[in-house]
Amino acid sequence: MAVFDTLGISGSGLLVHRKWLDAVSDNISNINTATRTNEDAFKERFIVARAVDYGSGEGGVRAARAEFGSGQGRLVYDPTHPLADKDGMVKYPDIDLGGQMTQLLMAQRGYQANLAVVERATTAYQAALQLGRR
């Protein structure tokens, strides 16, 4: 219902932050995924958010696309690894866990902030409906 636009707008924010959380969890879950040296390492995932213009559209945000980091990775000496090459090297994704944890915090806080907006908007709408009630 168009009256309760705020809920939909916050919903789009929630969706984007949920996708961001997905991307971060994907990155962290693959942080120790070893590959052969002649293959690409796991590529870090990024979510690109785009604003939906409030003037022409309904407002809010959308996850425009996913971007991928470099597959270059870093070489690690591990000769016992089954994927190691003849020099005993394997490739690990070059993802910084500290950076991922920071992004995790931001995504979580953003999600919570959008939920807070939903809650406040609901309270505000309810207060408006109480207007003049005896």
| Binding positions for another protein, rule: CB under 8 A | 1-4, 7-8, 10-11, 14-15, 18, 115, 118, 122, 125-126, 129, 132-133
DSSP state of 44: P
Residue closer to another protein, measured from CB, 98 or 132: 132
Structure tokens at 30: 């693959």
Between 83 and 124, CB nearer to another protein: 124
Nearer to another protein, 15 or 75 (CB): 15
Whole-angstrom Cα distance, residue 33 to residue 69?
15
> Which residues make Cβ contacts (< 8 Å) with residue 104, sequence separation at least 6?
21, 24, 25, 28
**Minimal distance in Å, beta carbon 50 to another protein?**
19
Instruction: For residue 4, give the DSSP letter.
Output: G
